[in-house]
């Protein structure tokens, strides 16, 4: 048959799921490189562990489900999930933590719901939440950013820490890990030290840079750049990141103005933790996000609100995963009530 | 020049749409050629939306060119005419260009090459003194239907009530198709003349000729044709080249910034939209008294050597058109009638050209028609690109989801029937889902269910009426029985009824008694009886008594 399809249209713009996923992976590169630069080889090791686990798990389920293994693996969605998950996990997370999170993401969050296109929740974030709740101590193994750490870890040392929990050279674990800036501020606020005091204190000031945390601000900046490239090529919808960042800025600004001592600035929030990764790569996961134009504004703003609430008053240091999954739950409702005005229908 | 210097109105936009590679230059290199007469013509009786006509001719009959072959009294219908003079060689079911692929009734004419026309009396400019109703009947009798592709009988649309604006649609937004473009370039004056007649019929206050801005030659030609119109009655409006701005509802939105309400026609908002080809056909009818027996068809794509536009008689075999343009040795049966976005694959070139055949798109394996490679598609990843391009502003991914789940109530809820099947969603879908196919299927399924429901309703009503009738009969019968039974039950107690009988008996006895008395049966002459006589009498009486006793 020369006209491949049974019915019109017989033309296609040549886009494909594979090319979308591939471009998402490309866009993750600058931010990932920055993360490796600032937080060490652990980031790369995590990505590799997660990628292998995710692909193997996906292949296994596809074999069980008697689906086309080769083409489905090539669609790249499992690899994207693996990268997002690995970038969210602490760089020195033990290998089994990454494996558990990856398995949960692919097996439970993705394939038990029917595979690509049918998962109501973002698989990477579900995997993250599972290990976050189950292994809170390990989830704090954030390496101190380059320049602050007392000693730099070599690639081999990193491998050893991740796979065995200690190094042969006997590097003190506490000397290489450190609480994240968001976490630090929260803890200090709990001790009634206001934001500015913490940032100026001799103990914590090395953690902070002009905008947010050392390293963190650059990682966020590079993810922002990759995200803008994706939005420009219309791989992701621009509304979700816009709405998310705008809402986060407005909310954070409101509280910072209201009480400067207890609340960090909007800029700090936007360039801290997983904000940019969430804005352009996690919240924009098309499968689990809202699909209506108006719905996407609500969805993005909802995540921002939840992120801010969890960061400021919740029990977890960063609230991205919870915020995204909570808004995933709301998606069917949002989509139903934000249907666009159909051509020719009376204006509501 | 006043017509051209109309203040440029600001154009509105409809949601979504696509900028497509148009491939139009393929078939605009040469002028419209006339396809030489053929030996045999196959004319389907039904070539329009509506009812098929009744065949007026018989096998073996000689017909003249332009003679009516079939006609219906039904309002939603259009007659068909003989494209050539010749003999009817057969009337029967033949393959026709229709998505269903089912054969339909056709009239076969063998050409006698005499070009023997029926008698013609063109009205010409006198048309403007003829009442609109008469003109409409002429258009109807000429078998004119919408030539943009839908084939809706034209006369029905031309109502005189409240129509202010006539849009002559030369947008032709589908890639590859150029028949309207070439018609406007070469026969602009004729199109204007036809449009003027339509304008006269519907009493339009303005006529807007809409053309996409990728057809500068057509725009120039049409502007030249209206150059001497100083009234501003005519206006040529270039519109941005965005697919599907050629859709009736879309072009009205662009030019007039009005939305035709869902489930309504442009008439309802005072607009009539007619294709340029239709306007040209009306010109042929008014000025040459010709029915619609030929049209311009774009033969294009990479399966023919010289893509071009041909003026083709209705009923011509498509194969003849392809051969005229030069085919390649490897047999190619894949032909799309219409454009690549909304046309359908005929799988055969042995079909006749019909009134709505605007384009025959051929293809080669080395085509530059970018097509999805695999037949199977990936799942929907809800990316929402379809939402961004949908000109009806629907949520195609939700429609797909619910069509796939066969949740037709929800599909209708998401406005499936506002879908114009333009194919934009399927064009951009990264999972390469044939979305329109799902919608067409869902629509036909819903129609089928609706039809079944109606039939079931009728059957149910009939059944209920039948049940009610049976019930009533039963009730009547029971009532009667009950009355009888009651009457029977009441009888022993009811003495009055019995007395009637008893009284009657008593009365009868009394009457007998009275009669006896009247007859005076007492013994006579018994006064002076002797003793002997008395003894005899007594003896007789005694015997009588005895015998009487014995008897009883």
B396-408 confidence digits (pLDDT tens): 999 999 988 888 8
- Domain limit, last residue, from B396, B412, B441: B441
DSSP state of B35: P
Residues B290 and B431 in one domain: no
Scan residues 213-272 of B and list those with Cβ closer than 8 Å to A: 249, 253, 259-264
pLDDT-derived band at B3 (thresholds 50, 70, 90) equals very low
- Residue B16 in any domain: the answer is no
Q: pLDDT per residue over A303-339, tens digit each?
A: 999 999 998 888 887 789 999 999 999 999 999 999 9
pLDDT of residue B7: 47
> Is the per-residue pLDDT at B6 higher than 60?
no
pLDDT score, position B504: 82
pLDDT of the residue at A203: 74
Residues in chain A within 8 Å Cβ distance of B381:
17, 20, 77, 116-117, 286-287
With CB atoms and an 8 Å threshold, state whether B436 touches A9: yes
B378 touches chain A (CB under 8 A): yes
* Mutation target among A4, A8, A342 for the B interface, most CBs of B within 10 A: A8
- Let me know if residue B236 belongs to a domain: yes
Only one residue has tokens 């072959």, namely B69
Last residue of a domain, one of B272, B305, B337: B337
Rounded to whole angstroms, the Cα distance separating B122 from B356 reads 25
Over residues A212-249, the pLDDT tens digits come to 777 888 999 999 999 999 999 999 999 999 999 999 99
Q: B400 and B286: one domain? A: no
Nearest Cβ partner for A5 among B365, B430, B434: B434
Q: How confident is the model at residue B424 (pLDDT cuts 50, 70, 90)?
A: very high
- What pLDDT does residue A1 have? 39
Query: pLDDT band at residue A284, thresholds of 50, 70 and 90?
Result: very high
pLDDT value of residue B91: 93
Characterize the bridge pairing of strands B86-95 and B103-111: antiparallel
Q: Mean pLDDT, to the nearest integer, of B344-373?
A: 76
pLDDT tens digits, A18-59: 999 999 999 999 999 999 988 888 899 999 999 999 999 999
The answer to whether the beta carbons of residues A345 and B262 sit under 8 Å apart is: yes
Calculate mean pLDDT across residues B408-435.
Answer: 91
Look at residue B542 and tell me if it is in a domain.
Answer: no
Q: Which of B395, B432, B436 sits opposite A339 (nearest CB)?
A: B395
Verify that B273 and B420 share a domain, yes or no. no
Instruction: Please state the domain count of chain B.
Output: 2
Instruction: Give the span between the Cα atoms of A207 and B304, in whole angstroms.
Output: 71
Phi then psi dihedrals of residue A214, to 5 deg: -60, 135
Residue B120 lies in a domain: yes
Q: State whether B272 and B397 are in the same domain.
A: no
- Indicate whether B150 and B214 sit together in one domain: yes
| pLDDT, average across residues A264-268 | 86
For the CA atoms of B68, B72, B77, B82, the dihedral, rounded to the nearest 10 degrees, stands at -10
> Is residue A288 over pLDDT 80?
yes
The domains of chain A, with CATH numbers, are: 17-333 (1.10.3430)
For the segment B441-498, what is each residue's pLDDT rounded down to a tens digit? 899 889 988 889 898 989 989 999 999 999 999 999 999 999 999 888 877 655 555 6
pLDDT at B368: 45
> B248 is in which domain, residue-wise?
24-337
Query: Is position B313 within any domain?
Result: yes
Shared domain for B112 and B215, answered yes or no, is: yes
Cβ contacts (< 8 Å) between B415 and chain A: which residues?
Answer: 342, 345
The minimum CA-CA distance between B338 and chain A, rounded to whole Å, is 10
Check residue B492 and give its pLDDT.
63
Give which of A1, A3, A292 to mutate to test B binding, by max B Cβ within 10 Å.
A3
In a domain, B481, yes or no: no
Per-residue pLDDT band at B334 (split at 50, 70, 90): confident
- Chain A residues in contact with B373 (beta carbon < 8 A): 4
CA distance B363 to chain A (A): 7
Same domain membership, residue B403 and residue B333: no
ipTM score: 0.86
> Do both B282 and B423 map to the same domain?
no
If you measure CA to CA, which chain B residue comes closest to A16?
B430
Please judge whether A2 and B387 are an interchain contact, meaning their C-beta atoms are less than 8 angstroms apart: no
Helix (H, G, I), strand (E, B) or coil at B237: strand
Residue B93 pLDDT exceeds 60: yes
Beta-carbon contacts of residue B444 (< 8 Å; ≥ 6 apart): none
Q: Are B252 and B316 within one domain?
A: yes
B177 in the same domain as B96: yes
Under the banding of pLDDT at 50, 70 and 90, the label for residue B516 is confident
Query: Are residues B15 and A340, on separate chains, in Cβ contact within 8 Å?
Result: yes
Q: Do A10 and B397 touch (CB under 8 A)?
A: no
Interchain CB contact of B316 with A (< 8 Å): no
Residue of B80, B21, B488 whose CA lies nearest to B315? B80
Task: Kindly list the residues from chain A whose CB atom is less than 8 angstroms away from the CB atom of residue B377.
Answer: none
CATH code for the domain in which residue B152 is found: 3.40.50.11540
What tokens appear for A105 in the block?
A: 């993401």
Å between A54 CA and nearest CA of chain B: 19
pLDDT in tens, A119-159: 999 999 999 999 999 998 888 777 777 666 656 777 887 88
Does residue B287 belong to the interface with chain A, where contact is any CB pair within 8 Å? no
Q: Which of B441, B471, B506 is the last residue of a domain?
A: B441
B363 close contact with A: CB closer than 8 A: yes
C-alpha distance from A234 to closest chain B C-alpha (Å): 9
Q: Is residue B304 part of a domain?
A: yes
* A interface test, pick of B383, B413, B414 with most A CB neighbours within 10 Å: B383
Parallel, antiparallel, or unpaired: how do β-strands B308-313 and B33-34 relate? parallel
Pair (B212, B102) in one structural domain = yes
pLDDT of the residue at A147 = 65
Among B261, B365, B383, the residue with its CB nearest the CB of A286 is B383
Q: Is residue B495 part of a domain?
A: no
pLDDT at residue B272, as a whole number: 92
Is residue B36 located within the same domain as residue B181? yes
Alpha helices (runs of H) in chain A, residue ranges in sequence order: 17-39, 42-64, 69-74, 77-88, 95-103, 123-134, 155-164, 173-176, 181-190, 195-200, 216-232, 239-258, 266-270, 275-277, 293-313, 320-337
- Phi/psi for A325 (5° steps) reads -65, -40
- pLDDT score at B191: 94
**In a mutagenesis test of the B interface, which of A6, A10, A76 is the best target, namely the one with the most B β-carbons within 10 Å?**
A10
């Amino acid at each position: 048959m020369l006209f491949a399809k049974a019915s019109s249209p017989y033309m296609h713009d040549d886009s494909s799921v594979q090319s979308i996923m591939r471009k998402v992976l490309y866009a993750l590169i600058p931010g990932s490189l920055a993360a490796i630069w600032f937080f060490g080889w652990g980031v790369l090791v995590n990505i590799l562990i997660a990628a292998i686990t995710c692909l193997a798990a996906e292949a296994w389920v596809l074999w069980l489900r008697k689906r086309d293994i080769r083409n489905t693996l090539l669609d790249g969605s499992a690899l994207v999930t693996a990268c997002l998950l690995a970038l969210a996990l602490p760089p020195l997370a033990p290998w089994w933590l990454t494996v558990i999170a990856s398995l949960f993401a692919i097996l439970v969050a993705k394939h038990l719901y029917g595979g690509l296109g049918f998962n109501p929740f973002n698989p990477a974030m579900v995997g993250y939440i599972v290990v976050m709740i189950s292994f809170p101590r390990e989830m704090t193994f954030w390496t101190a950013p380059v320049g602050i750490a007392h000693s730099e870890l070599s690639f081999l040392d990193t491998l050893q820490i991740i796979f065995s929990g200690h190094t042969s050279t006997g590097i003190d674990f506490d000397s290489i890990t450190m609480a994240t800036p968001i976490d630090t501020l929260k803890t200090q606020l709990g001790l009634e030290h206001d934001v500015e005091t913490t940032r100026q204190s001799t103990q914590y000031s090395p953690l902070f840079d002009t905008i947010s945390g050392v390293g963190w601000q650059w990682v966020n900046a590079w993810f922002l750049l990759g995200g803008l490239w994706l939005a420009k090529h219309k791989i992701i919808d621009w509304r979700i990141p816009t709405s998310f960042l705008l809402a986060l800025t407005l909310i954070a600004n409101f509280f910072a103005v209201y009480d400067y001592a207890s609340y960090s600035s909007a800029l700090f929030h936007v360039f801290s933790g997983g904000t940019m990764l969430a804005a352009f790569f996690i919240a924009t996961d098309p499968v689990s996000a809202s699909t209506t134009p108006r719905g996407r504004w609500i969805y993005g703003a909802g995540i921002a609100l939840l992120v801010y609430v969890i960061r400021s008053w919740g029990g977890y240091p960063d609230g991205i995963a919870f915020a995204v999954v909570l808004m995933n739950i709301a998606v069917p409702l949002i989509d139903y009530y934000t249907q666009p005005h159909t051509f020719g229908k009376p204006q509501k | 020049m006043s017509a051209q210097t109309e203040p440029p109105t600001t154009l509105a936009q409809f949601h979504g749409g696509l900028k497509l590679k148009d491939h139009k230059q393929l078939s605009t290199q040469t002028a419209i050629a006339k396809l030489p007469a053929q030996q045999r013509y196959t004319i389907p009786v039904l070539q329009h939306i509506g009812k098929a006509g009744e065949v007026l001719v018989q096998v073996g009959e000689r017909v003249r060119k332009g003679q009516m072959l079939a006609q219906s009294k039904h309002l939603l219908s259009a007659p068909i005419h003989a494209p050539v003079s010749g003999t009817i060689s057969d009337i029967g079911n033949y393959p026709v260009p229709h998505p269903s692929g089912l054969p339909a009734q056709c009239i076969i004419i063998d050409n006698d090459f005499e070009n023997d026309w029926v008698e013609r009396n063109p009205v010409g400019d006198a048309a403007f003194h003829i009442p609109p109703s008469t003109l409409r009947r002429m258009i109807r009798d000429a078998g004119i239907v919408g030539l943009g592709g839908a084939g809706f009988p034209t006369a029905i649309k031309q109502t005189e009530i409240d129509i202010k604006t006539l849009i002559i649609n030369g947008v032709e937004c589908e890639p590859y198709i150029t028949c309207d473009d070439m018609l406007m370039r070469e026969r602009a004056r004729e199109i204007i003349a036809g449009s003027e007649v339509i304008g006269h019929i519907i009493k339009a206050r303005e006529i807007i000729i809409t053309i996409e801005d990728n057809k500068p030659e057509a725009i120039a030609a049409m502007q030249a044709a209206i150059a001497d119109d100083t009234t501003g009655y005519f206006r040529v409006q270039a519109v941005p080249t965005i697919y599907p701005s050629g859709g009736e509802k879309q072009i009205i939105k662009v030019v007039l910034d009005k939305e035709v309400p869902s489930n309504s026609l442009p008439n309802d908002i005072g607009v009539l939209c007619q294709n340029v080809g239709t306007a040209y056909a009306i010109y042929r009818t008014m000025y040459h008294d010709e029915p619609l027996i030929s049209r311009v068809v774009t033969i294009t794509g990479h399966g023919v050597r010289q893509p071009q536009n041909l003026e083709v008689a209705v009923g011509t075999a498509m194969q003849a058109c392809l051969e005229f343009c030069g085919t390649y040795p490897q047999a190619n049966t894949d032909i799309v009638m219409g454009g690549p976005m909304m046309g359908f694959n005929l799988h055969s070139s042995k079909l006749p050209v019909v009134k709505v055949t605007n384009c025959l798109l051929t293809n080669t394996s080395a085509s530059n028609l970018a097509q999805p490679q695999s037949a199977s598609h990936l799942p929907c990843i809800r990316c929402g690109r379809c939402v961004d391009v949908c000109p009806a502003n629907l949520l195609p991914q939700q429609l797909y989801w619910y069509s796939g789940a066969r949740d037709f109530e929800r599909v209708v809820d998401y406005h499936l029937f506002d879908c114009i099947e333009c194919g934009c969603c399927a064009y951009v879908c990264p999972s390469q889902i044939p979305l329109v196919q799902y919608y067409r299927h869902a629509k036909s399924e819903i129609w089928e269910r609706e039809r079944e429901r109606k039939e079931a309703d009728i059957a149910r009503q009939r059944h209920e009426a039948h049940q009610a009738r049976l019930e009533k009969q039963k009730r009547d019968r029971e009532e009667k029985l009950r009355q009888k039974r009651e009457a029977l039950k009441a009888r022993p107690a009811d003495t009055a009824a019995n007395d009637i009988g008893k009284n009657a008996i008593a009365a009868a006895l009394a009457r007998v008694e009275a009669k006896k008395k009247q007859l005076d049966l007492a013994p006579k002459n018994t006064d002076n009886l002797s003793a002997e006589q008395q003894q005899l009498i007594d003896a007789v009486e005694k015997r009588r008594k005895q015998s009487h006793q014995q008897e009883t």
